[in-house]
A and B are shown apart, each in its own frame.
Chain A
């Protein structure tokens, strides 16, 4: 957070700083953020111990099944979810759709997800996220993508996975990739960081900072294809600081129980005894699709660049 260390001299409160935006994500660490489509689901998520809910019209599995253009949710539906729970409420805007983001900010959502799960609105530009008071989370499949989003003002990153599949393989690929690329930067001599920045298509200052600290300057969650407590725990062991669960909960046989189990597994991700206990008797997991069976044009993780 090097660019935000100068406190204002006056006593006047300041909103929308990088520190309060990034700090909000710090408070979600070790927690589970759940996709919900109704106020009732939001309550189930809160009861289960979710740290936040993601309000959207259709979970990724249904977006995938039904096709068509997928957009920001109806404000009435978002209001209903904000009313229903006391935990933070996030909502999705299309990639590049800065007006959807303006609307979500006006509704009072706590975080905007500029999400590849919705149909992109701009195939060249992402949203200028510095222009907003509300913080943004963005997806990334690799370090360069994460750094470009942070440069545009993202205050939180989630690895992408392949949403709506229940197949965790892409989540592991993307998380491992981001962490590998961070480790690689740490091994480079100072005079090779300039080229590394060029290759990552990311600003040199940010690349240099990561080479020094060994971590992103914002919180890194995981998302996309997480369907079981074991999936969540594996992603935490791979270095995620928290978990987004989309279709995995409300497309399963017993959402309340599964949601609670994933919350417990996220906290005790490194304790196999706890993981064994919470994995019992959860009923059916979401059916799922193997990522390999999805034709390339229908892969959501490839949206965004």
Chain B
């Protein structure tokens, strides 16, 4: 099997962790900051970070239109945490000027679980991932409040005050999680995305 080339949007955030996880999952991973670098990848990861900052830098460095175009053309994209926010068509509790890509038809609430003292770890079952629940790390994380008809819910929180909240979704080649599999050393979600990129290519 050939290794698909997957970029990690490297404007701000935990880029290195995603590069490491993607490499471990069998992809050729590289940071992407410029339109020409985007042209050379088969799929893209939008990492965890600060979504207001990433949104701003996407515009300043003219990455919005090229990424929207590639998404429209079917390029697989995976967003974790801030990346999920960047893939949402509607964001609550964000900045008024904050704008994501033309991604997944869903409403995402930013910092929905609370401030950093409320950040937590918990197991989450994700549809399509075998071998037991993922150990999910939520850091000032968003959740999904509404999904469009074409969006598949892959995972929800099972216990605690936020039980039932949607934290993993997919629409065609677009995948998003509220949590950070790149921080755990468990490569199953990245492998799932690498397979998705391979199938699309």
| In contact, B117 and A30 (Cβ under 8 angstroms) | no
Cβ-defined partner of A15 (8 Å) among B120, B180, B184: B120
CA separation between A108 and B111, bound complex, in Å? 13
B96 to chain A, nearest CB (A): 10
CA separation between A264 and B57, bound complex, in Å? 8
| In contact, B94 and A267 (Cβ under 8 angstroms) | no
Q: How large is the interface on B (under 10, 10 to 19, 20 to 34, 35 or more residues)?
A: 35 or more
A112 to chain B, nearest CB (A): 10
Closest to A52 in B: B50
Name which of B12-20, B22-30, B67-75, B190-198 contacts chain A.
B12-20
Name which of B99-107, B135-143, B146-154, B170-178 contacts chain A.
B135-143
Contact with B along A9-41 (1 / 0, CB 8 A): 011111111011001101111110000000000
| In contact, A86 and B139 (Cβ under 8 angstroms) | no
Cβ-defined partner of B53 (8 Å) among A8, A17, A134, A263: A263
B1 in the interface, Cβ–Cβ < 8 Å? Answer: no
Question: Which residues of the other chain, A, contact B184 by a CB distance below 8 angstroms?
Answer: 7, 19
CA separation between A51 and B11, bound complex, in Å? 12
B39 in the interface, Cβ–Cβ < 8 Å? Answer: no
| In contact, B121 and A17 (Cβ under 8 angstroms) | yes
Question: Which residues of the other chain, B, contact A17 by a CB distance below 8 angstroms?
Answer: 120-121
Closest to B82 in A: A27
Question: Which residues of the other chain, A, contact B115 by a CB distance below 8 angstroms?
Answer: 108-110
| In contact, A31 and B53 (Cβ under 8 angstroms) | yes
A296 in the interface, Cβ–Cβ < 8 Å? Answer: no
CA separation between A49 and B53, bound complex, in Å? 5
CA separation between A239 and B161, bound complex, in Å? 40
Given contacts A11-B123, A11-B158, A86-B95, contact A24 B53 (CB under 8 A): no
Given contacts A13-B120, A31-B49, A134-B117, contact A86 B111 (CB under 8 A): yes
Given contacts A267-B57, A268-B33, contact A12 B160 (CB under 8 A): yes
Q: How large is the interface on A (under 10, 10 to 19, 20 to 34, 35 or more residues)?
A: 35 or more
B44 to chain A, nearest CB (A): 17
| In contact, A49 and B17 (Cβ under 8 angstroms) | no
A88 in the interface, Cβ–Cβ < 8 Å? Answer: yes
| In contact, B117 and A16 (Cβ under 8 angstroms) | yes
Question: Which residues of the other chain, A, contact B49 by a CB distance below 8 angstroms?
Answer: 27-31, 51
| In contact, B140 and A30 (Cβ under 8 angstroms) | no
A263 to chain B, nearest CB (A): 7
A70 in the interface, Cβ–Cβ < 8 Å? Answer: no
| In contact, A88 and B116 (Cβ under 8 angstroms) | yes
Question: Which residues of the other chain, A, contact B40 by a CB distance below 8 angstroms?
Answer: none
A88 to chain B, nearest CB (A): 7
B10 in the interface, Cβ–Cβ < 8 Å? Answer: yes
Question: Can you report 13 A-B residue pairs in the complex whose CB atoms are below 8 A from each other?
Answer: A11-B122, A13-B120, A15-B117, A15-B119, A20-B139, A27-B81, A30-B13, A31-B53, A87-B50, A109-B116, A110-B116, A264-B57, A267-B11
- Contacts A86-B52, A111-B116 known; list 18 others, CB within 8 Å: A7-B123, A7-B184, A13-B120, A16-B117, A19-B121, A23-B119, A28-B49, A29-B49, A30-B10, A49-B60, A86-B94, A86-B110, A87-B50, A110-B116, A110-B140, A263-B57, A267-B11, A267-B57
Measuring CB to CB, which residues of chain A are less than 8 angstroms from any residue of chain B? Answer: 1, 5, 7-8, 10-17, 19-20, 23-24, 26-31, 46, 49-52, 86-88, 105, 108-111, 133-135, 263-264, 267-268
- The 8 A-B residue pairs whose C-beta atoms are closest, nearest first, are A110-B116, A7-B135, A11-B159, A13-B120, A13-B160, A13-B122, A51-B50, A20-B119
